[in-house]
Amino acid sequence: MSNLNLFLWSWSPVLLLTVLAVGLKQSALALSVFGTAFSLLLTVWVFQTPVPVVLMAGLDGVFTTFPLLLVIFAGIFLSQLLLSTGSLGRIVNWFMQGVSSPFLRNLLITIGVGNFMEGASVIAEPVVAPMLRAGGVTPVGSAALSIIGYSGMMTLELSGMILAVHSLITGLPIQTLAVASAWLSIPASLLMAACIPFYLRGSEDSGVDFGRQMVISLGSGLIASIIALVTVYLAGPSLAGMIGGLGLMLILFRLGVRKMAITRQIAMDLSPFALMMVSLFLINTVPFLKVLTFERLRWTFRIIPVHTLVLTPFFSAYLYLFLASIMTIRIFGMGKSQMLNVIQAGFKKGWRPSLAMALFGAMGQMIAYSGYTAHFASLNHPNHIPWVLSEGLKLYTGSLYPLFVPVLGWAGTFLTGYGVASLMLFGILQIQAAGLLGISPVWLSAGLAVGASIGSISSPFKIAIAAPMCGAVGKEGDILRWTIPIGIGCTIILGAILLLLV
């Protein structure tokens, strides 16, 4: 088969999921079933990967997603507890004491809380989506905004883990990568912020006209990203996303903290979040605790010989989500019958997105390990889908290649569900492309990373996390119908900026 045909085939999973989501409005579970089945056939018959290799790679993908599955169930359980006790509603109303309108409150939750949590290594969707829903945002809007709010700065979040991985892959200094990524995150954040007023339509009347909403949204995205950029210069990337989100929250509380009285009730409502934030802040910033929880209290195992799976339960968000749930039960004195109802409701909400995530994980690893020979003995690059995608773009775009680098990052996140996986697939190829084209490898790598971050808004995997938190299960296709073209359009704009920079 010719290189062109293989290049076109390598885009077929993207095309299939787009048609199913945009044209047929399929749910995340349906997308995961069809996408996984198609990827299996594609890697076996077109890219000539042995069936046992593909099946083992898929199983590896399921185990790879296991920590995120725990996050889903822990997040759903906590959100159900907070909904049943009325805590989320009271917290949203408390936020109103510090901002002048529902629009600003929802903007604070979307960009401020979203970036703060992702920056602290807490998956934002289980907390942000139900908070937005409790604030009067539509289910579809709540799910989409819980991702859009942080995706522009995602490269700078997860306590710098994304950039640390990218630095290891590319061999580039992490601080140099962080600075370039922070600069590119500014236009990325502005593009994401421009989407927010559209998704807040249909929510509570904010008393703010659409034009002013757009200006305030863009200003908020600009403020958060500039604070993150300054943090990168002054303190490195580890705290950039968290401080960017926190800084915006403090600015939006422009009426003053004195008017936000912290009563005993609101202190009780906030205590589960305080537990999570303090715990995650300590294990990410105190060197002894970080070494203990991330390097010593860890367990490794392998499903396939070329990929080591790592479990770090004391460093991961799901443990602290469960602890926050236990705290909520104790604080509010919930009885067994009430807890049973919460568990039943959580399981009902969680099993579909959990199964979908597991299948998306399998699909991503099938694609990532396509082209391997029997027993994973060696990799045949012409049959490796990520290699075909990147090499094809270099071959068919020539000097315009930087324009499509963010799109490549978007495609990697779309296919695998993980921004980090996108960097692992395409990171080293940017160094090679930069050498061939005689341009900066730092900017190409940063463009790939920020494009992968924007890919979060179009990821069926991410949307499968958000949907059950706000009553949007079954509406994933409606969300993707808009976020896929938005993601592609924004990454092309970002690519045009990158083309000017290099």
Condensed to tens digits (0 to 9), the pLDDT of residues 39-73 reads: 999 999 999 999 999 999 999 888 877 876 776 67
Q: Rounded distance, CA 51 to CA 272, Å? A: 46
| 310 token code pair | 């790592």
Query: Quick one: average pLDDT of 160-180?
Result: 82
Range with the lowest mean pLDDT among 148-162, 340-354, 484-498? 340-354
Give the CA angle between residues 355, 358, 364 to the nearest 5°.
140
To which residue do tokens 């960097």 refer? 423
Query: Quick one: average pLDDT of 76-84?
Result: 79
So what's the pLDDT on residue 197?
A: 94
So what's the pLDDT on residue 419?
A: 77
Contact 353, 467 (CB under 8 A): yes
**Average pLDDT of the chain to the nearest whole number:** 85
Q: Does 123 have pLDDT greater than 60? A: yes
Which has the higher per-residue pLDDT, 257 or 188? Answer: 188
Q: How does pLDDT run across 395-451, given as a tens digit for each residue?
A: 888 788 899 999 989 988 887 667 776 776 677 678 877 887 788 999 999 999 999
Give residues with Cβ within 8 angstroms of 87, minimum separation 6: 81, 268, 269, 272, 328
Tell me the pLDDT band of 75, cut-offs 50, 70 and 90: confident
Q: Rounded distance, CA 433 to CA 430, Å? A: 5
So what's the pLDDT on residue 255?
A: 47
Q: What is the DSSP letter of 195?
A: T
Q: Rounded distance, CA 268 to CA 331, Å? A: 7
Q: Rounded distance, CA 268 to CA 158, Å? A: 27
Q: Rounded distance, CA 199 to CA 114, Å? A: 16
Residue 416 burial (10 A CB sphere; 0-12, 13-18, 19+)? buried
So what's the pLDDT on residue 451?
A: 96
To which residue do tokens 């954040």 refer? 189
Q: Does 256 have pLDDT greater than 50? A: no
Q: Does 209 have pLDDT greater than 60? A: yes
| DSSP β-bridge partners for residue 372 | 379
Query: Quick one: average pLDDT of 19-26?
Result: 76
E strand or H helix that includes residue 311:
strand 307-311
Q: Does 250 have pLDDT greater than 80? A: yes
Distance (Å) of CA 262 to CA 236, 267, 385, 424: 33, 6, 54, 45
Q: Does 313 have pLDDT greater than 90? A: no
Residue 361 burial (10 A CB sphere; 0-12, 13-18, 19+)? buried
State the pTM of this model.
0.74
Which has the higher per-residue pLDDT, 299 or 97? Answer: 299
Q: Rounded distance, CA 145 to CA 95, Å? A: 18
What whole-number percentage of the chain has pLDDT above 70?
Answer: 92
Q: Of the segments 34-38, 169-173, 280-284, 351-355, which one has the largest average pLDDT value?
A: 34-38
So what's the pLDDT on residue 159?
A: 64
| 469 token code pair | 């938190």
Q: Does 231 have pLDDT greater than 60? A: yes
Q: Rounded distance, CA 344 to CA 132, Å? A: 23
CA 143, 314, 324, 114 torsion-angle sign: negative
| C-alpha of 349 from chain center | 20
Which has the higher per-residue pLDDT, 450 or 74? Answer: 450
The candidate with the shortest Cα–Cα distance to 280, out of 196, 126, 158, 383, is 158
Q: Does 457 have pLDDT greater than 90? A: yes
Q: Rounded distance, CA 444 to CA 441, Å? A: 5
Q: Does 329 have pLDDT greater than 50? A: yes
Phi first, then psi, for residue 28 (nearest 5°) are -60, -35
The per-residue DSSP string of 18-32 comes to HIIIIIS---HHHHH
Query: Quick one: average pLDDT of 121-131?
Result: 79
Distance (Å) of CA 388 to CA 119, 141, 367, 393, 428: 33, 36, 11, 8, 14
Give the CA angle between residues 472, 67, 354 to the nearest 5°.
30
Range with the lowest mean pLDDT among 32-36, 364-368, 401-405, 424-428? 424-428
Q: Rounded distance, CA 36 to CA 246, Å? A: 39
